[in-house]
Amino acid sequence: MQDDGRSEEEKLEERLRTHRLKSDREFFAALSPQQQHLLSVKADPPEEERRRRKKREPEPKIKIYTCNHKYALPGTPIVRPKGGRFQDRDAENAYKGMYHCWKFFYELFKRDSLDNHGLVLKNSIHYGKRYGNAMWDGKQMIYGDGDGVTFKTFTADLDIIGHEITHGLIQFTANFAYEFQPGALNEAFSDIFGVLIKQRVLNENVKEADWLIGSSTMLGRKYALRSLKAPGTAYIGHPVWGDDPQPATMDGYMKLKFSDEDDWGGVHWNSGIPNYAFYVAAYDMGGYAWKKAGRIWYAALMEDLRYDSTFEEAKKFTILHARKIFGKGSLEEKAVIHGWRTAKI
């Protein structure tokens, strides 16, 4: 396989951050909401807060920082000119992306930010040197610029921004462990809301949408990071990554170890299975996926799913919510059952 041209140091920095991510997330996930607040960006000063309150409708609170290609977080704050836009394209992408994510959860579900209490959405761009990842680290968003060979900037896809912010939402809600089946659910719900946020902005129905994650960020016209419509086909014969290993059905479940190299039990691979169940269910329902299937999956995430939930439980609770929202024997209930059955759960 071809090398992506980065130095050993750059690759090690990348591995270090990815490794830390798991323990950082675990640390934050174990805190109470009050403790999490102590460590998040402080709310606006009273004057500004009062002004906002008067308007009654909450607004997203978005902060952008630049790491200037260093690894210290959060970096230097940069401010969006009033009535204008950021000159830095990544700053603008991150800002707009956050805005769309916030609006998605507020307009559809009346949820004001990740904690439903207007948590400030903090974003650091230009993280590290040619850093090939983006993430929610437990308290903020981080975006690398990519190596320019396999990846370009990680702010290029709204579905990636939506994926990462959904990790934040999950931390405040179902709080899935980041390993094995709950880890794969963590990944799948992040992919699912990632694509839904994008589909809603583009006003695409289930047939029009491409159901891909990272099609702009991963360089090469034929390549994306993951496909919810056809897991295992997002990239084939990629010069660095080879073939997409994601299974779409439970008989292909990858039994992997609890280690960094094994992706903590294959959380980014086995997510193909619940991703596919969602896609099939949404496709059966037709129309806009965020209106019905998205609503069902959101309700299960908010009300029933937990730290150690399995695929079986995700199935059980999404069926339950389909029935609760749309009625017993409804087309929507049948679609959810069909989705999980197609994924062989």
Residue 268 among the catalytic residues: yes
Matching residue, tokens 């084939």: 236
Task: Exactly one of 268, 321, 332, 333 is catalytic; name it.
Answer: 268
Provide the mask over 149-188, with x wherever binding to Zn ion is found by CB under 5 A and - wherever it is not: --------------------------------------x-
The angle formed by the CA atoms of residues 272, 273 and 276, to the nearest 5 degrees, is: 80
User: Which residues, at least 6 apart from 332, have a Cβ–Cβ distance to it below 8 Å?
Assistant: 285, 292, 293, 296, 322, 325, 326
133 binds, among Zn ion, ligand ASN, none (CB under 5 to 8 A by kind): ligand ASN
Distance of closest approach, residue 85 Cβ to ligand ASN, in angstroms: 26
Residue 164 among the catalytic residues: yes
Distances from the Cα of 105 to the Cαs of 2, 8, 101, 102, in angstroms? 41, 40, 7, 6
Cβ proximity to ligand ASN, 135 vs 285, nearer residue: 135
Q: Give the residue, chosen from 64, 91, 119, 135, that forms a contact with ligand ASN under the rule CB under 6 A.
A: 135
Number of residues that bind ligand ASN (CB under 6 A): 8
Q: Give the residue, chosen from 18, 205, 249, 330, that forms a contact with ligand ASN under the rule CB under 6 A.
A: 18
Cα(41)–Cα(274) distance, integer angstroms? 33
Number of residues that bind Zn ion (CB under 5 A): 2
Strand partners, 213: 226
Phi, psi of 52 (to 5 degrees): -65, -45
21 binds, among Zn ion, ligand ASN, none (CB under 5 to 8 A by kind): ligand ASN
Closest alpha carbon to 271 in 304, 249, 293, 303 = 249
Q: Judge if the upstream peptide bond of residue 74 is cis by omega within 30 degrees of 0.
A: yes
Q: Give the residue, chosen from 164, 191, 284, 333, that forms a contact with ligand ASN under the rule CB under 6 A.
A: 164
Q: Just list the catalytic residues.
A: 164, 268
Contact residues: ligand ASN, CB under 6 A: 18, 21, 133-135, 164, 167, 187
